Amino acid sequence: MALLIIETGSAAGTDLLLQFAAEHGFTVKTEPHRVLTDADMVTGIGRKATEAELTEYLLKGDDGEEIDIETVFAKFK
């Protein structure tokens, strides 16, 4: 058994992929885009997160103060 995750940005593309899968006897399960939370990142969401979901999660809260890498490493010397 193999699991294939496909991201598509259009309803038409999704419909074509679903039609192709049905015509070739594949089992299909669709899931909507999910906004990931910190709890999701710790406990998981039961599947591999899509690139869009990960990007959205990693970019949220990006207004924090930048810390110089030398400052970070200095704490461990």
Residue 23 pLDDT > 90: yes
* 55 falls within a domain: yes
* 38 falls within a domain: yes
* 40 falls within a domain: yes
* 14 falls within a domain: no
Give the model's confidence band at 20: pLDDT under 50 very low, under 70 low, under 90 confident, else very high.
Answer: very high
* 36 falls within a domain: yes
pLDDT per residue as tens digits for the range 55-74: 888 888 767 777 888 888 88
pLDDT of residue 1: 67
Does 41 or 4 have the greater pLDDT score? 41
3-state secondary structure (DSSP) of residue 7 = coil
How many structural domains are present in the chain? Answer: 1
Instruction: Calculate the dihedral angle through the C-alpha atoms of 16, 18, 22, 24, rounding to the nearest 10 degrees.
Output: 60
* 8 falls within a domain: no
* 5 falls within a domain: no
CA gap 68, 1 in Å, rounded: 46
* 23 falls within a domain: no
